[in-house]
């Protein structure tokens, strides 16, 4: 949860950024930047973020998206952001915590495309509806350069879409006045509703598509790792890049919709902070 720690001798304003593949294709592509965290105090960040990742979790085809960046952070911990949602973040000693109202995007039937489906869509699967979600986070700093964290993604609407959680570790590998290099590793968990929604095939869907009925169990469904690099200029401009891979595991990797178990992803963000 603490992507980096500011050097006491550093005079220029910098922004801590941790990039993470959160729930992979089940969430919106823009959420690869969902864990963006600015420095404390009042600040406004404007920019644009791009991401390349699978169209849905397990897809072979990739999707390219562009997301406008607007992030307003208040000194009292409140924030409003296209990346983080609307919420609050605070700290108590080495602990930090956050709660936000955010958005989980839909998965469209037309995105379920593969080489075996000549028509280009598995219409019988139907769409997974978008939902409002509560993003809850808790982190602990072990050292100035190493932290552990847990995050939960809970639907407030469309409850049948299910709950997801991840537990991870962040390490700061390099920090200078201009450059930051970070590394992240995480294990991802989900309940039975989430697994069925994004990796399963119900009896009704099976009858409409011809796919074998599949009911995955709750538990660990993926592990992910990522490397990020940020360059911050003295005048407020910053450039952040990230690249990583998520490996589907256990029941999530065995479903009939899965075309690739190892899911690559990359992102780039250009921003200016006032």
Q: Residue 121: its pLDDT value, please? A: 57
What is the rounded average pLDDT for all residues in the chain?
85
User: pLDDT digit string (tens) for 32-68?
Assistant: 555 555 655 789 999 999 999 998 999 888 999 999 9
Domains of the chain: 24-273 (2.40.160.40)
Q: Which residue has the higher pLDDT, 185 or 10?
A: 185
Q: Residue 38: its pLDDT value, please? A: 60
Give pTM, 2 decimals.
0.84
Q: Residue 245: its pLDDT value, please? A: 95
Q: Residue 28: its pLDDT value, please? A: 35
User: pLDDT digit string (tens) for 55-65?
Assistant: 899 988 899 99
Q: Residue 234: its pLDDT value, please? A: 83
Is the pLDDT score of 4 beyond 70?
no
Is the pLDDT score of 220 beyond 80?
yes
User: pLDDT digit string (tens) for 61-106?
Assistant: 899 999 999 999 999 999 999 989 999 999 999 999 999 999 998 9
Q: Residue 210: its pLDDT value, please? A: 87
With pLDDT > 90 as the criterion, what percentage of the chain qualifies? 69
User: pLDDT digit string (tens) for 136-176?
Assistant: 999 999 999 999 999 999 999 999 999 999 999 999 999 99
Q: Do residues 154 and 134 touch, judged by C-beta distance below 8 A?
A: yes
Neighbours of 117 (CB within 10 A): 12
Is the pLDDT score of 3 beyond 60?
no
């Amino acid at each position: 949860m603490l992507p980096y720690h500011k050097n006491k001798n550093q005079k220029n304003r910098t922004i801590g950024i941790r990039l993470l593949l959160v729930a992979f294709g089940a969430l919106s592509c823009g959420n690869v930047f969902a864990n963006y965290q600015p420095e404390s105090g009042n600040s406004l960040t404007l920019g644009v973020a791009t991401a390349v990742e699978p169209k849905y979790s397990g897809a072979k085809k990739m999707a390219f998206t562009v997301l406008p960046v607007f992030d307003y952070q208040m000194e009292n911990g409140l924030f409003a952001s296209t990346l983080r949602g609307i919420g609050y973040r605070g700290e108590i000693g080495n602990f930090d915590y956050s709660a936000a109202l955010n958005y989980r995007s839909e998965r469209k039937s037309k995105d379920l495309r593969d080489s075996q489906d000549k028509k280009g869509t598995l219409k019988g699967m139907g769409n997974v509806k978008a939902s409002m979600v509560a993003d809850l986070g808790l982190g602990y700093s072990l050292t100035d350069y190493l932290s552990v964290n847990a995050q939960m993604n809970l639907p407030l609407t469309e409850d049948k879409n299910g709950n997801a959680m991840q537990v991870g570790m962040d390490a700061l590998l390099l920090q200078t006045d201009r450059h930051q290099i970070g590394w992240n590793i995480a294990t991802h968990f989900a309940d039975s509703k989430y697994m069925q929604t994004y990796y399963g095939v119900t009896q009704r869907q099976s009858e409409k598509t011809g796919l074998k009925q599949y009911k995955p169990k709750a538990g660990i469904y993926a592990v992910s790792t990522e490397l990020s690099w940020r360059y911050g200029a003295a005048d407020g401009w910053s450039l952040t890049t990230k690249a990583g891979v998520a490996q589907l595991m256990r029941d999530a990797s065995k479903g009939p919709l899965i075309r690739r178990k190892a899911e690559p992803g990359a992102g780039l963000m250009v921003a200016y902070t006032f």
